[in-house]
Amino acid sequence: MPDRLLVTDATVCDVANETLVPDRRVLVTDGRIEAIGGSEIEPAGVEVLDAGGRTLVPGLVDAHVHVTAATADLGAMIEWSPNYVAAKTMRILDGMLSRGFTTVRDVGGADYGLAAAVDEGLVRGPRVVFGGKALSQTGGHADLRGPGRSALDDHQCCPGLGVVCDGVDEVRRNARNQLRTGAHHIKIMLSGGVASPTDRVDSTQFSDTEILAAVEEAAAANRYVTGHAYTARAVNRGLRLGVRCIEHGNLIDDESVALFAEHDAYLVPTLVTYEFLAREGAAAGLPPASQAKVADVRDAGLTALERAWRGGVSVVFGTDLLGDMHVHQSEEFRIRGRVQPAAEVLKSATVNAARLLGLEGEIGTVTPGAHADLLVVDGDPLTDAEVLAEPEQNVRAIIKGGTVVSDRLVG
């Protein structure tokens, strides 16, 4: 017999059209939404979840995570046992699912084994869309050696977030190696960053020909390249060379906005990470050299988000938290709500994210045929971004792939 679930008395949130449809029943069969309707949907012998008139929204998508980043001291983590990192990762994934994130895109660290473990039910967490290890030049954002260290170990088993490669041939080989493992995208470092010890945030990284090599390899495999970049110089260069998505983008300019539109590219801001790196980074293990970089990008983030959104850029939800700061994941809704309408913030974590991941109609929507990833929430997240910023208070039930993984509706 098929596994079936009936959600009753639900106010279905149509995110794309920004509407709420009350008094709906949602029938789920074998992990997919089979039908949405009224009292005519009355199957026998099914598990019933009474939403009590509350809002039924799609499961959330965080499109910039590092699920293996169990500390903010990423250089130190490379020395950890992979088994120890895996144990820490299980706790991180469990927390994400408990906050209502049913799909995450890992942009450095997670691999095919971790994604399979979640899919097979060995690990409780959101489904993991992974890119494997990010590509970095020597001295780039994923080269986590301090200035006094020469040894470099890029073996696949090591719990680092990236791999160092220089020259077109090395970039091609490493891109192909990530794609060989089933990577859904290739990530490259287009500029310096906060967590890396030896580069400047305002630097550019990789040559044009190296970037083009990664873009060509991804395109050949029907995948895409996403690029870590902060400054307009790094962002604009990447977009011109075929990078489909930009991570962060705190220092973009008007030309960047035009290039996003021209190339139908996506922007994934990660504002919450700077907020909490400033507050808690030192306690979470962020090295002093990295702490000093936070201010370089923190204050510009909201301005960049507003510029991109008003300019019509496809903006996607991301957080980029590290170590103990993962617990603040939902705060991204509150921060974005300062400059975007709540409905736009919700779209970034559902329909926009689904398009970026190539899963439109599969996730981020409450429609027949989609994965039954669903949240029952108090309040209306189309008009109030605070609803999803407070999951402990407002998320009353979580369904992932048709299975109720959390139910606080009784009482």
Q: 213 pLDDT band (50/70/90 cuts)? A: very high
Is residue 281 scored above 90 in pLDDT?
Answer: no
Q: 292 pLDDT band (50/70/90 cuts)? A: confident
User: Which CATH number covers residue 393?
Assistant: 2.30.40.10
Strand partners, 406: 398
pLDDT at 69: 94
For residues 86 and 189, state if they share a domain. yes
**Could you tell me which residue, 198 or 179, shows the higher pLDDT?**
179
pLDDT tens track for 215-242: 999 999 999 999 999 999 999 999 999 9
Indicate yes or no: pTM above 0.75: yes
Residue 242 lies in a domain: yes
CA nearest 405: which of 95, 68, 124?
124
| Amino acid occupying residue 151 | A
For residues 21 and 73, state if they share a domain. no
Q: Do 80 and 36 contact (CB within 8 A), yes or no?
A: no
Buried residues in 246-276 as b, exposed as e (16+ CB within 10 A): bbbbbbbeeebbebbeeeebbbbbbbbbbbb
For residues 213 and 158, state if they share a domain. yes
Is residue 411 scored above 60 in pLDDT?
Answer: no
| Joined tokens for residue 180 | 């060989």
Residue 345 lies in a domain: no
For residues 83 and 101, state if they share a domain. yes
For residues 50 and 132, state if they share a domain. no
Residue 343 lies in a domain: no
Which of 303, 329, 355 is a domain's end point? 329
**CA pseudo-torsion sign 156, 161, 166, 169:** positive
Q: How many domains are contained in the chain?
A: 2
Buried residues in 361-375 as b, exposed as e (16+ CB within 10 A): ebbbbbeeebbbbbb
For residues 169 and 288, state if they share a domain. yes
Is residue 26 scored above 90 in pLDDT?
Answer: yes
Residue 353 lies in a domain: no
Number of Cβ within a 10 Å radius of residue 203: 19
For residues 113 and 196, state if they share a domain. yes
Give residue 47's domain range.
4-59+364-407
| Joined tokens for residue 191 | 């500029």
Q: Do 365 and 134 contact (CB within 8 A), yes or no?
A: no
Residue 206 lies in a domain: yes
Q: 211 pLDDT band (50/70/90 cuts)? A: very high
For residues 8 and 99, state if they share a domain. no
pLDDT tens track for 128-140: 999 999 999 998 7
